[in-house]
A and B are shown apart, each in its own frame.
Chain A
Amino acid sequence: MKSPEEFDNYYKSTLVPLLESLEPDRKKSEAAFWTAIVSLALFIPVILLFVALENPWVLILLIFPLYFSIKKFSDHNKIKTEYVSKFKQTVIAGMIKAINDQLNYFPQSRIEMNEYTEGDLFRSRIDEYNGGDLVEGKLGATSLRFSEVIHRERRETVDSRGNRRTYWVTIFRGIFFIADFNKNFNGRTFVLPESGFDFLGIGKLMAQWFEGRGEEVKLENPTFEKYFKAFSSDQIESRYILSTSMMERLVELREKANRNIYLSFIDSKVFIALPVNRNLFEPNELSTGVNETYLKEYFYYLQLITGMVEDLNLNMRIWSKHT
């Protein structure tokens, strides 16, 4: 299943009945949510009683609404988790298999932190790392795996009065993709978004120093240079990887994705980071599940990512790296 039209058919024929069969579970989850919210209201009478009687001992009574609320929220959590799990195992897993049955879906797994750091795309310290919805398999001759990933760093500011304030910065959030590359190589090459800072040629020089990713590689394709800057440990190897054809493909991919993308080529693999500012593949318990819009968006992302194997022509194996 590739095109939006094919998805429309798939939605009507396969997804609608599936989603309808899941509606009872969703409604259960929604009901549990509202019950939990309403249970908070039980705090009100106790507070009012406290205000009326001005007796602090009344506050002990808060134990009851507190216990009740906590139980309701925990119940909701359990029910929602079950619903989400069912949704993923049926709806999302089905969509992925329909895109290509060589792909397998593991909603609880993710790209592990060591794989993420091997790609060396985001060098900030990792204070929080999480993810899920792993897809892996082999398309043609290319093994691939990808999942949602979030990487955050904790930072502190100290203001003039010496007050410390901690805040979190999201370094990367989106889909992280790893695949076999179709050529063997030894060094490290990076293709990062162009930041556009260049003044008398000094900008590029400084970028080189601060990046620490090897020398800048100036390439011939002007559109490529507009979107990306390339760094590598080896000027020739980087051009072996970034052939004229590959540069064109990367430009097309960048335009298709319509956002900055980050790539690295290390250890004969390609690592691609595609920023997505939200959680994908989750159902919304608060509105009907039988809605094509959000599923079409998930399909769009799945197609975009699995399509990268073809878009980057990774299945052309005419060099000495075969399977």
Chain B
Amino acid sequence: MVLIIIVLIVGVILIVLYNSLIRRKNAVANAYGAIDAMLKKRYDLIPNLVETVKQYMNYERDTLTKITELRTKAINPNIPPEEKIQLENQINSAMRNIMVQVENYPDLKANQNFLQLQASWNEIEEQISAARRAYNAAVTDYNNAVQQFPTNIFAGMMNFQPKTVLEIPEEERKNISAKDLFKS
């Protein structure tokens, strides 16, 4: 009788541990999907922004054309992940450049449409940052389970490997306060 109870308890513990591993693995996939969703929102915003800005920023025409081209490439579902990341970074720095240049165009700064787009842009940037941080937290949680005892036993059996956290690009890491970016 006692033996049965012990076996049951051990069984429950094993199930709990196994499930927690699965849960963490799924959390990572979920978080990755969320980043993608946020990035898509950003890609959707770019054409509108470029159009509004183009009318005012005569000197930035080249950068704007380049951004449009990069965006078209980036939304192609068939590109390999490394190239996608590279395109991402390029779009990032080009857009930052534009946003800083906005300071030189007072008419643009007064344009209501632009201001709304700029606010949406800031929001999406922060949300992407939040999504990346959530992904990294999910990965760390998962890695802990894969490497710590006792769940590492299951991880070994199911051949779960630790994942890598996302590198936050150097510019973002500097934690630019918007005050510096949008001095007015």
Contacts and interface: CB of A to CB of B under 8 A. Distances in A.
Most chain-A CB neighbours within 10 Å: which of B116, B126, B138?
B126
B129 interface: yes
Interface in B163-184: 175, 177-179, 182
Contacts of B118: 318
Interface in A208-252: 217-220, 235-240, 243-245
Given A318-B119, A319-B122, A319-B126, A236 B178 contact: no
Contacts of A2: none
B68 to A, nearest CB: 24
Q: Which A-B residue pairs are the 3 nearest by beta carbons?
A: A239-B130, A240-B130, A319-B123
26 contacts: A183-B123, A184-B123, A218-B137, A218-B140, A218-B141, A219-B137, A220-B133, A220-B137, A235-B31, A235-B134, A235-B138, A236-B31, A236-B127, A236-B131, A238-B130, A240-B130, A243-B126, A318-B178, A318-B182, A319-B119, A319-B122, A319-B126, A320-B116, A320-B119, A320-B120, A322-B119
Contacts of A235: 31, 134, 137-138
Contact of B122 (A220, A318, A322): A318
A320 B115 CA distance: 9
A318 to B, nearest CB: 5
A192 interface: no
A219 B138 CA distance: 11
A219 B31 CA distance: 15
Given A218-B141, A235-B137, A236-B134, A243 B178 contact: no
B33 to A, nearest CB: 11
Contacts of A237: 130
Nearest to B30: A235
A239 B136 CA distance: 12
Contact of B177 (A219, A239, A245): A245
A245 B119 contact: no
Interface string B104-134: 0000000000001011101100110111011
A261 interface: no
B35 to A, nearest CB: 9
A240 B175 contact: no
Interface string A293-320: 0000000000000000000000010111
Interface in A97-132: none
Contact of A239 (B119, B122, B134): B134
Contact of A240 (B127, B140, B177, B178): B127
Given A236-B34, A236-B131, 20 more contacts: A183-B126, A184-B123, A217-B137, A218-B137, A219-B137, A220-B133, A220-B136, A235-B138, A236-B127, A236-B130, A239-B131, A239-B133, A243-B129, A243-B130, A244-B175, A316-B178, A316-B179, A318-B182, A319-B126, A322-B119
A318 B137 CA distance: 26
Interface string A180-200: 000110000000000000000
B112 to A, nearest CB: 11
B interface residue count range (under 10 / 10 to 19 / 20 to 34 / 35 or more): 20 to 34
A243 B175 CA distance: 10
A244 B136 CA distance: 14
Interface string B135-156: 0111011000000000000000
Nearest to B176: A245
B82 to A, nearest CB: 25
Contacts of B179: 316
B138 to A, nearest CB: 8
A316 B123 CA distance: 12
Most chain-A CB neighbours within 10 Å: which of B31, B116, B127, B133?
B133
Contacts of A218: 137, 140-141
Given A235-B134, A236-B131, A239-B133, A320 B123 contact: yes
A236 B129 CA distance: 9
Nearest to A218: B137
Contacts of B129: 239, 243
Contacts of B130: 236-240, 243
B64 to A, nearest CB: 22
B166 to A, nearest CB: 12
A322 B123 CA distance: 12
Contacts of A243: 126, 129-130
Interface in B18-40: 31, 34
Most chain-B CB neighbours within 10 Å: which of A184, A218, A240, A244?
A240
Most chain-B CB neighbours within 10 Å: which of A218, A237, A239, A322?
A239
